[in-house]
Amino acid sequence: MGELVMAAKITHVPSIWLSIQPGKHFGIRRKAELALEEIGRRAHERGADTFLVADTHWLNSIGFHLNGKERHHATYVSHELPHFIHDLAYDYPGDPELAELVREEIVAGGQKARVHDYNDLGLEYATLVPMYFMNKDSSIRVLPIGCNMYSTIEENRRIGEALMRAIARSDRKVAFLASGSLSHAFPANEIAESMLDDVSSEINRQVDISVLDMWTQGRTAEFVEMLPDYNKRCTGEGAMADTAMLFGLLGWEDYDGKGEQLCPYFGSSGTGQVVVDFPLPAKVS
């Protein structure tokens, strides 16, 4: 029987990659780097053998999709910000077996899902940036699930429940990563470069901070009730699908764990970012 050994909300912003490159921005995201490294350390310590990543940069328009390749091996350049992320070589084992179990459970729940192993289906940077810090030795399998940009919070809650059922059916120890931002409103292009370290609006900043208070105080029922409105009003990244999957997997309004914030909240090109490790409820630990 499989086991969920980690559930975390993580940042993947390209300024983290910029932060490790020589030049004027070197070290600007050092605290986020250390937080991602700590998530990786904990995953290894807990015996994780698969990172299951809800990737908000692998955006789907119909259904739910898993990259079930046996091996992820390529060199990546971001089409969005090629001057930030380029020449990123990667090589990770995949997890086709868990991918198929996830597909089966999503379908059993009345939704549509597909597993893909196309040669040219690569990884996106919402997976690659975290993996660089968490999986340096490539010892842990990587299984991304895309986020449907037109999905609802309720749909993604059900996907999270399906993920948990699939994990239970497997023989894996799984670390689940919700890879996406908090608020995600980009500034106008004319001022974007000046907001490298800021959030687009004070309203978004204050809502994000309130959300973090809910997470760290265990006020999950209050949070999931406001999640659809939060997604709408604060321009959720990838429909906040990763976050809804995370709490669906943890038990939704019944989850009362207190998240551990591993780095200070920070703004990046207008968006709100953080890393939080959520303790596992007894029923899934």
Q: What percent of the chain has pLDDT over 70?
A: 99
What is the average pLDDT value for the chain, to the nearest integer? 97
On the question of pLDDT at 285 being above 80, the answer is: no
- Rounded mean pLDDT of 159-180? 98
pLDDT value at residue 282: 79
- Rounded mean pLDDT of 28-52? 98
On the question of pLDDT at 110 being above 50, the answer is: yes
- Rounded mean pLDDT of 112-116? 98
On the question of pLDDT at 283 being above 90, the answer is: no
CA dist., res. 211 & res. 226, Å (int): 10
The β-bridge relationship of strands 260-261 and 113-116 is: unpaired
- Rounded mean pLDDT of 96-124? 98
pTM for this predicted structure: 0.97
User: CA triplet 100, 102, 104: central angle to 5 degrees?
Assistant: 70
- Rounded mean pLDDT of 166-186? 98
Nearest to 174 by CA among 53, 37, 9, 10: 53
- Out of 3.40.830.10, 3.40.50.150, 3.30.70.260, 3.30.540.10, select the CATH number for domain 3-278: 3.40.830.10
Domain ranges of the chain: 3-278
Coil, helix or strand at residue 222: helix
- Rounded mean pLDDT of 79-92? 95
- Rounded mean pLDDT of 140-152? 98
- Rounded mean pLDDT of 269-284? 90
CA 96 from chain center: how many Å? 19
On the question of pLDDT at 284 being above 50, the answer is: no
pLDDT value at residue 8: 99
